[in-house]
């Protein structure tokens, strides 16, 4: 676990209400599922792309979801994008029926944002945005 010290935020904090977290009290470490990631898309990547992706996943998975919320867009680098603004395939699954926004992890300098949905403590990665074309940056 890292040495990140959590800050206290009120439950009415707007960032928490518009976050990738289902419950602000979520203290689970971020976990990932790749079951909705298109395998054809993966074949387009080079080894250095995978190095960046894996490094980002390792960094993100060292934090709890609460920590990720508190760090915000300028910390780990997450933002919520309305589904209507995405120009990439969006999986159709009962897990995501009530979602109107996707979570995007994208730190400064990243070339490949990670797009998916957070359900409970799992982030379902469904698109790797190489080329930054999936939404307006």
pTM value? 0.78
**pLDDT attached to residue 9:** 33
108 and 77 in contact (C-beta within 8 Å)?
Answer: yes
**pLDDT attached to residue 46:** 87
Structure tokens of 100?
């109107």
What is the domain partition of the chain in residue ranges?
28-128
- Angstrom CA distances, 114 to 8, 21, 42, 66, 106, stand at 27, 16, 13, 19, 7
**pLDDT attached to residue 128:** 93
CA 84 to chain centre: 17
One digit per residue, pLDDT tens: the chain, 137 residues? Answer: 433 333 333 333 334 344 555 554 578 888 999 999 988 888 888 888 899 899 989 989 998 988 888 887 777 778 899 999 999 999 999 999 889 999 999 877 778 899 999 988 899 999 999 888 999 87
Structure tokens of 79?
């933002």
**pLDDT attached to residue 20:** 54
Show the DSSP H helices in 11-135 as ranges: 14-17, 39-42, 47-60, 65-71
Q: For residues 5 and 99, what is the distance between their CA atoms, to the nearest angstrom?
A: 30
């Amino acid at each position: 676990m890292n040495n990140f010290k959590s800050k206290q935020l009120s439950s009415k904090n707007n960032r928490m209400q518009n976050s990738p977290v289902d419950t602000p009290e979520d203290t689970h470490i971020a976990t990932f599922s790749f079951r909705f990631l298109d395998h054809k898309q993966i074949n387009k990547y080079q080894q250095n792309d995978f190095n960046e992706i894996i490094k980002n996943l390792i960094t993100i998975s060292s934090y709890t979801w609460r920590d990720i919320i508190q760090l915000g867009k300028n910390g780990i680098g997450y933002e919520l994008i309305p589904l209507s603004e995405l120009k990439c395939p969006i999986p159709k699954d009962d897990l995501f029926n009530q979602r109107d926004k996707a979570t995007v992890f994208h730190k400064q300098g990243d070339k490949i944002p990670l797009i998916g949905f957070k359900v409970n403590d799992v982030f379902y990665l469904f698109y790797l945005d190489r080329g930054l074309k999936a939404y307006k940056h």
